[in-house]
Chain A
Amino acid sequence: DAKTTQPNSMESNEEEPVHLPCNHSTISGTDYIHWYRQLPSQGPEYVIHGLTSNVNNRMASLAIAEDRKSSTLILHRATLRDAAVYYCILRDLNYGGSQGNLIFGKGTKLSVKP
């Protein structure tokens, strides 16, 4: 299964943009790039996903490199509530039974300073 590489931790100041990087050099043509986040003592929460084009939703933006070997999750204005572990995950379009072997690595722990 294709894997992703993320920094272990990042810090940000409140109300500033945050760019969370993810490398996925072995991504296949049918892999979607998904981002989840996990707030303290909660289950993971879906943030955003994309295939080739940049994506925006109410929570964040996803910028995907042209060769798709890396992507960046962008939080436009970090708040204290955004402090969480962010997971970058590849999920096959045809994910079938095991839900595409959704593999959660250790993610990036984002700290937000007031």
Chain B
Amino acid sequence: NAGVTQTPKFQVLKTGQSMTLQCAQDMNHEYMSWYRQDPGMGLRLIHYSVGAGITDQGEVPNGYNVSRSTTEDFPLRLLSAAPSQTSVYFCASSRPPGTANTGELFFGEGSRLTVL
């Protein structure tokens, strides 16, 4: 079972460059989200989606765009990378409330991004 797959695992960018972090899940989960984790910190929510075609902002959305054209995929775009976006990014998925095993988030292994 693949679960939540993130690519790339590592990326180095120069300030001002753009890139897309990919996230795919094969569990048919409606809910997907992106978090970032800075050294010694907990995870902070960037953007989330409750289904295909629906996205919304989390706690720290500035500098990031998302789209959700399919249930499986939820890419995160950095339009103009800044050193402050150096972080580890995690994608997660889950079932909506009221379904079996409600509450469990499944996370990818993370994408480590460095912006020089």
Q: Which residues of A contact B26 (CB under 8 A)?
A: none
What per-residue 1/0 map shows which CB atoms of B45-81 lie under 8 Å from chain A? 1001010000010100000000000000000000000
**Could you count the A-B residue pairs with CB atoms below 8 Å apart for me: how many are there?**
59
A106→B39 CA distance, assembly (Å): 10
Q: Which of A20-28, A60-68, A76-84, A86-94 contacts B (4 or more CB under 8 A)?
A: A86-94
Q: Which of A42, A46, A101, A102 contacts B109 (CB 8 A)?
A: A42
Is A46 a contact partner of B104 (Cβ separation < 8 A)? yes
Interface secondary structure of A, over-half rule: loop
How many of B's residues come within 8 Å of A, CB to CB?
Answer: 26
Q: Which residues of B contact A99 (CB under 8 A)?
A: 31, 33, 45, 48, 94, 105
Is B105 a contact partner of A102 (Cβ separation < 8 A)? yes
Q: With A49-B104, A95-B97, A107-B42 as given contacts, are A43 and B109 in contact (CB-CB < 8 Å)?
A: yes
Is B103 a contact partner of A44 (Cβ separation < 8 A)? no
Interface residue? A97 (CB, 8 A)? yes
Q: With A43-B108, A46-B105 as given contacts, are A96 and B40 in contact (CB-CB < 8 Å)?
A: no
* Residues of A in contact with B (beta carbons under 8 Å apart): 32, 34, 36, 41-46, 49, 87, 91, 93-99, 101-107
